[in-house]
Amino acid sequence: MLYVVAWPLLSEADDTALRRLRAQYHPGEAELIGPHFTLVFGAPVEREAVLRDGLAAIDRRPFWFLIDRIARVDLHLYAEPSDGAAELTGLYDTLNPVRDAEPFQPHITLGLFSHAIEAEQVARIVGRQHLPIHGRVEELALLRRDHDRLDTLATFRLGT
């Protein structure tokens, strides 16, 4: 399966905090990949050339984002940006010409829980201790996942 992610540039403290949260509450994925915004979710490998062309054609400048909200959706915990959300959504729309039934909400996944109450409690704590988080997106990556392996096929810098 193929994925496209936007890599957030974060302060050392924010990067460390997000990595620790992911390691604690989303360990399987945290071992595979650090904090990121996913723009293409599980595309078939046959789409690689189309995704490469789409990424190469993106003519957007790097942009800042502000995460000021921790959201719980079912059993998942997400860090959601306010500033920068429109830019991330625009990139998603560019790379996904066929839309999912559910609207895209940019986010960094922090955890997956077995009980909603636990996710809600952690959301409150994380919000008090770690927000706001400021960062910048300058680079997108095309990734290929095979079971427990994740390979970077290509990287694309915004604004170059």
Domains of the chain (ranges; CATH) run: 2-157 (3.90.1140.10)
Give the C-alpha distances (Å, rounded to integers) separating 29 from 21, 40, 122, 150: 11, 16, 18, 10
Contact 76, 47 (CB under 8 A): no
Mean pLDDT of the chain: 94
Q: Using pLDDT thresholds of 50, 70 and 90, give the confidence band for residue 17.
A: very high
| Tokens standing for residue 18 | 């997000």
Give the ranges where 5-158 is alpha helix by DSSP (H): 12-25, 27-30, 48-57, 85-95, 116-130
Q: Rounded to 5, what percent of the chain is helix, strand, coil?
A: 35, 40, 25
Is the pLDDT at 160 greater than 70, yes or no? no
Reported as a single tens digit per residue, the pLDDT across 29-80 is 999 999 999 999 999 999 999 999 999 999 999 999 999 999 999 999 999 9
